Amino acid sequence: MISMFLHLLVLAYGTVTFAGTLNVAPVSFMVVWGYLTLLILVHWLPDYVDAEVAITRIPSFLKTQEVFQWSLVVWILLLQAAADPVALSLPAAAQYLPQTLPMLLSLALYIALAKPAFFEFYRLFRPVLDLKQTAADFFRARMTVPILFFPPIMLWMLIEDISSGGIKALTEIRLMAAAPLFFIILYLMAPKLFNWAWKAEDNDNPELEEMLKRLSEKAESKVAGVKIWNTFNEPVPNAAVAGLLPRYRFVYITRYLLGMFSPQQVEGVVAHELAHLRLGHVTSYMFYSLNLILISIFCKLSLLLYFPQYYPDSTLYTTVELLLFIAVFSVTFTALARHCEFEADSFASEVTSPEIFASTLETLNSIILPPPSIIPDWLLTHPQIQDRIARVRNEARHKIVDLKRHASRLRLTMLVSGLAMLLVTAIPASGVNKISKYHEAVKAGNGMLAGELHRSLPDWLKAHPLVLQETGKMAVNSQRWVLAAAVAAEAEWNIRLIDSSQVFHHPGSPEVTFDFEIVKFVLKSLDLW
């Protein structure tokens, strides 16, 4: 379920968005925050667990874990917003890595605070856990999802930090070019990441290997082999597949699945995972990710170019943008994932048989916990198992060739949509690129080039706040304070007193007797104070 990653997504982008926004007595706040954290971990949480154990009451495992994870995220974000510890302790380094360093701190805090808390939860839930599972196993199982999530998100933040500089929207263009390569590398490296997160081991069962080879040939999906997925003594009957290249592509199976399912049912599970490969679902997810990024970039560039007054450069706007992105991602990605699961079910039914695969789903339904009732079906990445069983048993059978054709059409639609979105995005990107070149010329102090670029801009773009800001900087640099004040007035109040191109005409004597308050107004309006 996407809910497994959602709190981590909020922690990552919340750290970047809210760091330093409150700035309420940062040093004092850090001291109080640290004291309260120790109080909770050393006294309140152990006392709570002792009380629950004494009366032999065991709360809901999923609900308790969910509440704790979200509370931990909010607690860390509160520290970042009020104190911004990285900027406070390493101001020089924070300027070069404004996202990566705060996120490193949030990650360190997440692990450091989660470890003692999960050890307490281990005491609380010990009666319902596997007898073989130790406290260390319990904590390591909780860390599997963060291990899968944080390396890619940290790498992307590092890329963003390296690409930053100049106009913010120019970074969006650079990232737009880097995104396809990033996702291709991510999907190529997925098996390495899975091996690390799950501590996957090589398969030592020749019968399982032979079955996989036979199925992969039947499904026309080459894989390098089977990996045994370590669940750290947690009863998780699951399977997955990862890898773009056949040589580094593996099917992952947990030991619990091998122990609880019959050989025929294991074959059905493997067939389902191979279906994701044969139907190109990994590629579909990659196209979806790229399209969502393109849409996000198009919206940001369009806002900056055509509606700069609404550009999300404040905490409120950025928060709304974050919530909107999460909402759109949650609804659309889960819809795509459910569609792919139904397709993989149909494919597996054809490769094995509807009876075998339906019995596989029924066994799975009998041993796993259902998703929390508070989560609606349209936010689940996997359909309800009852719906999957009903489709397998009652739906008209789809030939594999038809499933492949439908999946191919979906990928083609997403590819064409992405190319169309790329062409549409090029329109605002061109305008922002012109502003960026003008910014670079002003920054370099090249008045001649800046004048040429300014004259080449259409009239409506010359009145853009970012263009006016750069034009005002040119006036300030040449100490033409009257012109600078006029440009600042237009940028601040949208009152046009002069033609801004006059800044690039031959200057007269500098107005050195300008009132200091007027100079301060000019510098503040042009983002120079």
Residue at a domain's end among 136, 158, 180: 158
Mean pLDDT for the chain overall = 85
pLDDT tens column, 361-377: 999 888 887 777 777 88
Is 0.85 surpassed by the pTM of this model?
no
Query: Looking at the predicted structure, is the pLDDT value of residue 506 above 70?
Result: no
Q: Residues of 387-401 as b/e, b for ≥16 C-beta within 10 angstroms?
A: bbbebbeeeeebebe
For range 165-173, the mean pLDDT: 65
Residue at a domain's end among 127, 158, 189: 158
Query: Looking at the predicted structure, is the pLDDT value of residue 246 above 80?
Result: yes
Contacts of 171 (CB under 8 A, 6+ apart): 160, 163, 164, 165
Q: Strand pairing partners for 241? A: 251
In this structure, the chain runs to a length of 529
Is residue 28 domain-resident?
yes
pLDDT tens column, 421-478: 989 988 998 998 898 888 888 888 888 898 889 889 998 888 888 888 888 877 777 7
Is residue 220 domain-resident?
no
Which residues span the domain enclosing 497?
444-525
Is residue 519 domain-resident?
yes
Contacts of 497 (CB under 8 A, 6+ apart): 486, 489, 490
Q: Identify whether the C-beta of residue 432 lies closer than 8 Å to the C-beta of residue 304.
A: yes
Closest CA to 476 of 443, 498, 499, 449: 443
Is residue 59 domain-resident?
yes
Query: Looking at the predicted structure, is the pLDDT value of residue 509 above 50?
Result: no
Q: How confident is the model at residue 163 (pLDDT cuts 50, 70, 90)?
A: confident
Is residue 81 domain-resident?
yes
Cβ neighbours, 10 Å, residue 372: 12
Q: Identify whether the C-beta of residue 195 lies closer than 8 Å to the C-beta of residue 220.
A: no
For range 248-258, the mean pLDDT: 90
Give, rounded to a whole angstrom, the gap between the first and last alpha carbons of the chain.
48
Is residue 497 domain-resident?
yes
pLDDT at position 510 is 45
Contacts of 266 (CB under 8 A, 6+ apart): 208, 211, 253, 257, 258
Q: Which of 46-50, 315-319, 401-405, 509-513 has the lowest mean pLDDT?
A: 509-513
Query: Looking at the predicted structure, is the pLDDT value of residue 398 above 80?
Result: no
Number of separate domains in the chain: 2
Q: Which of 141-155, 298-312, 343-357 has the lowest mean pLDDT?
A: 298-312
pLDDT at position 160 is 84
Is residue 224 domain-resident?
no
Chain centroid offset of residue 169 CA: 19
* DSSP assignment string, 257-315: HHHHS-HHHHHHHHHHHHHHHHTTHHHHHHHHHHHHHHHHHHHHHHHHHH-GGG-S-SH
Is residue 417 domain-resident?
no
Give whole-number Cα distances, 505 to 329, 437, 442, 460, in Å: 50, 20, 15, 20
